[in-house]
């Protein structure tokens, strides 16, 4: 486990390596949520112009709180 500290104030969009550390989800689990449609593109995750995948941890927290209804309703 890394001893590097995670910043207290996180940006809205974070890369998979940081989100994995915050949430405990593996890269494969994150990819599974994207590809299965459990997380909506543009809301829970997005592909940046450089090809990197970023995750909106705030929207994912809402998804955890409210489940699949939020993704289906777009917010």
Per-residue pLDDT tens digits of the chain, which is 75 residues long: 567 776 678 899 999 999 999 999 999 999 999 999 999 999 999 999 999 999 999 999 999 998 865 454 554
**3 domain-assigned:** no
- Helix (H) and strand (E) counts in the chain: 4, 3
Q: What is the CATH number of the domain that holds 57?
A: 1.10.1660.60
* Predicted local confidence at residue 7, as pLDDT: 61
Total domains present in the chain: 1
Is 42 contained in some domain?
yes
pTM exceeds cut of 0.75: yes
In the chain, DSSP assigns E strands to 13-15, 45-47, 53-56
- Domain range for residue 62? 13-73
CA angle 55, 25, 64 (to 5 degrees): 65
pLDDT at residue 23, rounded to an integer: 94
């Amino acid at each position: 486990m890394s001893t590097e500290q995670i910043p207290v104030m996180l940006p809205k969009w974070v890369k998979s390596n940081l989100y994995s550390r915050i949430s405990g989800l593996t890269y494969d689990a994150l990819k599974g949520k994207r590809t299965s449609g459990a997380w909506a593109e543009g809301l829970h995750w997005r592909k940046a112009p450089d090809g990197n995948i970023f995750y909106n941890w705030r929207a994912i927290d809402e998804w955890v709180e409210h489940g699949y209804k939020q993704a289906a309703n777009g917010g």
